[in-house]
Every structure is written in C-alpha cells, then in structure tokens.
Amino acid sequence: MSPYDRSFGWLKSQVLELDRQQDYTRARELVEEALPFFPEHRPTLVLWRAILTLRLGSPEKALAILEEAVGQGLWFGPAQLEDEDLAPLRSLPAFTALHKICQERYAEVRARSHPGILVLEPDNLVPPPYPTLFALHGNGSSPLAELEYWQPITAHRWQVVLPYSSQLIGYGRASWNDEARAVAEVCTHWKQQQRWKRIDSQHVVLAGFSRGARIALRLALEGRIPAIGFIVVCPALDASQVLLPQDACQVRLGFVLLGEHDYGAPITLAAVERLRAAGLTCEVKQYPGLGHAFPPSFAEELPALLAHYLPSAPQ
C-alpha cells in the first residue's frame, strides 16, 4: 500500500520504527515516496530525508537536500536547524550560509505573522447554527497538518473550527508556547465566530493535541469558552500548573486520550484524578504501545466521543 493510501500519522510511526531498527535506507525510501502526497508536511519530510541521508553517511547529499528545498522557497526555523540530528552539518560553510538565509526568512515571516483560522462546516443541508468543535493543533504543527484527524467529523453534523497560532517556529508550523498570548488569540477567535451566528452555543466542545490540548483544557475549565466538554489528546501538562474547574466552567464530561508511553502520562493521570476529585466526570483511554501521538484510530473514534454531547439525529 502506498503512503497516499495511509495517514501521515501512520507514515510517521513507520519512519520512526524503521529509524529505531536502523533501517535508514527503507525509511528514506518511504519518506521519498510520501513527498508528493503530503504537501502540508513537506518541511518535515525534507528534514527527515536529510537526517536519514546523514545517518547513511552522506553529509554532502544531506546538505544538498536542504539547499534544494531552500532554493525552492522553503525555510526552516531555528529549532529545526539546531536539531542534534543535523550536528554533522554545522562545520560545513554551506550550512552556515543556508542557516543565515533561513534566519532572514524566519524573521521576515514572524514580523507579519498573525492568528489564523480554518472553519469547516458540516457536510449536510441543515442550516446553522451548528454544534461546534474547537480543535487546537499541537506545537510545531498547524491546522492543515492535523486536518486528517478532525475533518471527518463534519460528516456527523459538526462544524470544526481550527485556530492557527501566530507563534511561528517553522515553515507552516507554529507553537502555543506563550500561553497568555495563545489564550487571548483563541478567545478572540471565539468572539469573532460568535458574530457570524453559526455556532450552536449549547453544543460547543474544546479539543486539541499536545500543547494545543493543554490550552483547550484550560479554556474549558476556566469557562473562557462555554464548552460542555473537552476531548484532549496527549495534553502537554505542566506539573506545576494545577487546572481545576472554575465557577464559569460548564463542562459536564471530558475525555482524555493518552499513549501508554507518552512522556507526560504520569502528570496527565494525576491531573485527571484532581478533576475527578473536584466533581468533574472525566474518562481516560490509554493506548498500548503509543507514545506522544494521535491514536491511529482517532478519526474513527471521534464521532462516538462527540455523540455524548449531542442528541441523536432525527430519523
């Protein structure tokens, strides 16, 4: 089966497993096969291709891969180029020149960066307002990069709102690291979307992955957005941050999806226990063998999770 017939999540798991097995040739072949089919993930795939080429002992070819991409208008953020996997290239003068070009492009794009949003209306003929899922992307990601996980729910009467952070860290990639700024941006999106009168304010659910899940959980518990539930995947919680339902919280049920080997699992499970002790109904599902990633079956499971928040469709 070609990468075109699979999700990017599947591709990532295969590449990481082949890398773990030190089968760098097959991993690179898989990345090269996937490049035409995942344009929204091109910067990531180019980096993987260069890193795997390095692992195969060809630094000049690895550098040429990055130079070709930059020559085509792509650029890489500081964290990407400072990745330890690229360390063998840092002594090369051409890499220094490439780094400078990327820095200039990064500074230029950051100077004009602003919050974005992608809105997907449900695939039916029912007029608005719609039950609405606000889903926040993870760090180093974007709405387009995670679209495959959320878009299918539009076939089940739901509108999907996908905010895009203004905190750019790479080509088409952003973070939520400045949490105060992140909260302000998402709340502004909420207010702006309300003006269009296309949201059923009685059926709003907040969701997200990793750092986006953390922001979504905070907004729901604080009642900044009147969500009746949350669905958070591998929330990147901070042990020093205690999140509890506030007076304005309207959540009646929350779901936490977690990989068995997620590095943040102990902190997340402790947070769930605090929420339950505070009287909030919170269900947890752990996935055997999974790390900090979307479950492979997430898009198929999401309709059943959201069904808890919405009356059955009329026959």
Taking the C-alpha atoms of residue 84 and residue 249, their distance in angstroms, rounded to an integer, is 43
Helix (H) or strand (E) holding 251: none
Q: Tell me the pTM.
A: 0.89
Q: Give me the chain's average pLDDT, please.
A: 93
119: helix, coil or strand? strand
pLDDT band, residue 5 (cuts 50/70/90): low
| Residue 110 pLDDT > 50 | yes
Extents of the domains making up the chain:
3-111, 116-309
More confident position, 311 or 170: 170
Q: In sequence order, what are the residues at sequence separation of 6 or more whose Cβ sits closer than 8 angstroms to the Cβ of residue 76?
A: 43, 47, 66, 70, 102, 170, 171
Rounded average pLDDT over 96-110: 94
pLDDT digits (tens, 9 = 90+) for 46-83: 999 999 999 999 999 999 999 999 999 999 999 899 99
Mean pLDDT of 191-202: 92
pLDDT of residue 313: 54
Could you count the other beta carbons within 10 Å of the beta carbon of residue 72? 9
pLDDT of residue 315: 45
pLDDT, tens digit, for every residue of 254-289? 999 999 999 999 999 999 999 999 999 999 999 999
> DSSP 3-state assignment of 141?
strand
Average pLDDT (218-237) is 97
Q: Looking at domain 116-309, what is its CATH homologous superfamily?
A: Alpha/Beta hydrolase fold, catalytic domain (3.40.50.1820)
**The pLDDT of residue 6 is above 80:** no
DSSP letter at 171?
A: T
